[in-house]
Amino acid sequence: MITRAWKKWRSGHMGRLVGESFYAQGPLYGIAILAMIVVAVTTAGSAYMMEYIVDAMTSPDLRGWAQVIALAVVLLFLTKAIASYIQATFLARAGNRIVAQQQEKVYRKLLRHGVSFFSANESSDLLMRTTNGAQAARNLIDVLVTGFVRDALTLVGLVAVMVYQQPVLSVMFFIVGPVALLGVRYLLKSVRSIMQAEFKSLAEIIRVLQETSAGIKVIKVFSLEDRMIDRMETAIRKVEQRSNDIARLQAIASPLMEFLAGLAVAGVLIVSTMGIAGSEQPSAGQLMSFITALLMAYEPAKRLSRMRVQIETNMMGVGLLFSLLDSQDTMVESPKAHDLNAGPGHIALRNVTFGYQGAVPVIEDMNVSFEAGKTTALVGQSGGGKSTLFGLIMRFYDPDKGVVEIDGQDLREVSFASLRRKISYVGQDTFLFSASIMDNLRCSAPEASDEEVFEAAKAAHAHDFIMDLPDGYDTQVGENGTFLSGGQKQRIAIARAILRNAEILLLDEATSALDAESESLVKKALDALTQNVTVIVIAHRLSTVLEADKIIVIQDGAIVEQGNLDQLMKKSGSFRTLFDQQFKKHTPAPEVAE
């Protein structure tokens, strides 16, 4: 039975956390625990010394020992002070290390997940699990260590002093203890449900803040301030209410222990004055030592009585943390993964079917190839599956059926690092890190020289506006480039892709935020820089893809037409329809070679 219970505890969240934490921070916790033992011993010793202090003051025979007793008291409290400092310092260092390690583990775990994981989980929930979960792990270890070591040993020591001084009177304490524990046990029934609700409300607060920051323009334009205020106030009120409930449950233990301690002191007074404590009348020093130990036992007993509530409070955060750490990776590298072999960059999808999270397929039984060193344009209505093709090529997702290959190699058999080195990408939702322009450019090629960075920026027609900024390339762009215009952000993103100098370049509406003149200049630069590079372009503006080597029209996850411009304009098909819609038939169709 004991073995089974131990295995269950060891495999549970608490046992796992304790095992991992003590394994990683054993020396720090060892020093803290030794200091706690000294604190417990000196605390009990201070209660025991009360007998000699009182007797030295009241008994003429012991007055000569007053100086020795005073020195002993000073040394006792000095030792306790030093031990308390060591305990607090090393316990804090160990706790801070636990928070840091758990957050590092969670972040590494998050980066191992595929893109689909972040689509299925809200950032506010991930933030709550990473921050509050790690802090809860630290708090839980602190509660366990201080409770089972410092408070438990202190209580044992003080009880030993009480029993030594007055065995009969100590019975009062043993009556009070179980009553207090029964009262606290009753409180635990409500803690779990309250904490679950509180975590949800905290996540809602973070969610509202994130949406306010990201969507402030929409909020202002559509006058949504009152709606957002209502959402925030509702979440705040729920957190406040549940925090009050937890505080109430935790606070009940203190007055309960105070009342019971008062009963115990009153009982001791009555029993001692009635002479029931024993045949021999105790000395004033013995009685004072006993009462001092009894009163000092109140604080550790109170903390121990509240420990279960604190454990349950923190276990919710620890559970959320471990559920994230234990989540199955949504995108896994093959155990036998090898580097992608060198090749020209030919891409092929063979009988590929794919649907997000097992839903209705976005792409079904698709066969398509992208010729190495050529530019292929993907056109068609929104939602047809064009961006999904990019996700499959970059292996953000694996196909439900079929194979995605680069130079004849199945992407599921190659390493992520070698695949990503092969590809450069500019998306329609331009993302910049909250760093300098130089850092944002160089992140695609950390080894690039300053001169190479400048050349890439010039090719993307970004160098001039960068140099006009107050700090040039050292200018901070703000959160997701908030200090830059949309066109400036897009040119930096294009420069970043150019600097990568990869064999495959994927452009998803890469010039959509540029004016016609800038778009023409960037397009010319890209044409010059993408010789012998496999380029795939997604564009809704056909003017940007008319010179592509091949144009593929995709509708509802299927290829309906493909060929060069001359071939497609000869037909009365989907591409010709799109062309006529965009140019509204006011512009003559391009001449088709006979």
**Per-position DSSP letters for 71-92, written without gaps between them:** HHHHHHHHHHHHHHHHHHHHHH
> Do 300 and 182 have their domain in common?
yes
Cβ burial, residue 182 (10 Å; 0-12/13-18/19+): exposed
pLDDT at 182: 57
* Model pTM score: 0.69
> Do 155 and 299 have their domain in common?
yes
Strand 409-410 to 401-406 pairing = antiparallel
> Do 457 and 550 have their domain in common?
yes
Exposure string over 504-537, b if 16+ CB within 10 A, otherwise e: bbbbbbbbbbbeeebbebbbebbeebbeebbbbb
Q: Which of 341, 342, 345, 343 is nearest to 534 (CA)?
A: 345
Angle 116-332-24 (CA atoms, 0-180°, nearest 5)? Answer: 105
pLDDT at 3: 47
Given a cut of 50, is residue 62 above it in pLDDT?
A: yes
* 429 within a domain of the structure (yes/no): yes
The pLDDT tens digits for 487-529 are 888 888 888 888 888 899 998 887 776 777 777 777 776 776 6
> Do 413 and 301 have their domain in common?
no
The pLDDT tens digits for 530-566 are 778 899 998 877 777 788 889 999 988 889 989 888 8
pLDDT at 405: 94
Say if residues 522 and 516 touch (Cβ distance below 8 Å). Answer: no
Beta bridge partners of 377: 537, 551
pLDDT at 6: 40
* Distance from C-alpha of 9 to C-alpha of 18, rounded to nearest angstrom: 10
> Do 178 and 240 have their domain in common?
yes
The pLDDT tens digits for 453-491 are 999 999 888 899 999 998 999 999 888 788 888 888 888
CB atoms within 10 A of CB 94: 24
Q: Which of 252, 243, 137, 138 is nearest to 194 (CA)?
A: 243
Backbone angles phi, psi at 406, to 5 degrees: -125, 120
> Do 380 and 459 have their domain in common?
yes
Strand 347-354 to 504-508 pairing = unpaired
* 245 within a domain of the structure (yes/no): yes
pLDDT at 542: 79
Say if residues 92 and 31 touch (Cβ distance below 8 Å). Answer: no
Given a cut of 70, is residue 403 above it in pLDDT?
A: yes
* Distance from C-alpha of 185 to C-alpha of 308, rounded to nearest angstrom: 8
Residue with the bigger pLDDT between 263 and 237: it is 237
* 591 within a domain of the structure (yes/no): no
* 236 within a domain of the structure (yes/no): yes
Highest mean pLDDT among 212-216, 356-360, 394-398: 394-398
The token duo for 439 is: 């850092």
- Outline where 113-169 has alpha helix (H): 115-120, 123-145, 152-165
> Do 373 and 225 have their domain in common?
no
3-state secondary structure of 331: coil
Say if residues 505 and 534 touch (Cβ distance below 8 Å). Answer: yes
pLDDT at 78: 93
* 131 within a domain of the structure (yes/no): yes
- Outline where 146-224 has alpha helix (H): 152-165, 170-214, 216-221
Given a cut of 90, is residue 356 above it in pLDDT?
A: no
CB atoms within 10 A of CB 383: 12
Confidence of residue 9 (pLDDT cuts 50, 70, 90): very low
Cβ burial, residue 110 (10 Å; 0-12/13-18/19+): middle
CB atoms within 10 A of CB 135: 19
> Do 103 and 181 have their domain in common?
yes
Residues, the chain, total? 594
Contacts with 75 (C-beta within 8 Å, 6 or more apart), sequence order: none
Q: Which of 42, 26, 48, 75 is nearest to 166 (CA)?
A: 48
Domain end marker among 325, 355, 380: 325
Domain count, the chain: 2
> Which amino acid, one-letter code, is at 422?
K
Say if residues 287 and 55 touch (Cβ distance below 8 Å). Answer: no
* Distance from C-alpha of 96 to C-alpha of 91, rounded to nearest angstrom: 9
> Do 419 and 311 have their domain in common?
no
Given a cut of 50, is residue 569 above it in pLDDT?
A: yes
Average pLDDT, integer, range 151-169: 84
Domain end marker among 261, 294, 325: 325
* 333 within a domain of the structure (yes/no): no
Tokens 């009262």 identify what position? 183
Residue with the bigger pLDDT between 274 and 350: it is 350
Residue with the bigger pLDDT between 9 and 304: it is 304
User: What separation, in Å, do the N-terminal and C-terminal C-alpha atoms of the chain show?
Assistant: 89
Domain end marker among 261, 290, 325: 325
> Do 100 and 202 have their domain in common?
yes
DSSP 443-469: TT-TT--HHHHHHHHHHTT-HHHHHHS
The CATH number linked to 393 is: 3.40.50.300
Tokens 């803690």 identify what position? 191
The pLDDT tens digits for 282-305 are 677 777 888 788 778 877 877 777
Contacts with 365 (C-beta within 8 Å, 6 or more apart), sequence order: 351, 352, 353, 401, 402
Return the percent helix, strand and coil in the chain, to nearest 5: 65, 10, 25
CA distances from 254 to 172, 227, 237, 269, 511 (A): 19, 41, 26, 22, 66
* 593 within a domain of the structure (yes/no): no
Range of the structural domain that residue 388 is part of: 347-583
Q: What is the mean pLDDT of the chain?
A: 80
Average pLDDT, integer, range 385-412: 91
* Distance from C-alpha of 460 to C-alpha of 390, rounded to nearest angstrom: 22
The CATH number linked to 220 is: 1.20.1560.10
> Do 399 and 310 have their domain in common?
no
* 340 within a domain of the structure (yes/no): no
> Do 406 and 436 have their domain in common?
yes
The pLDDT tens digits for 380-397 are 888 888 888 998 999 988
Average pLDDT, integer, range 253-263: 64
Exposure string over 326-350, b if 16+ CB within 10 A, otherwise e: eeeebeebeeebeebeeeebbbbbb
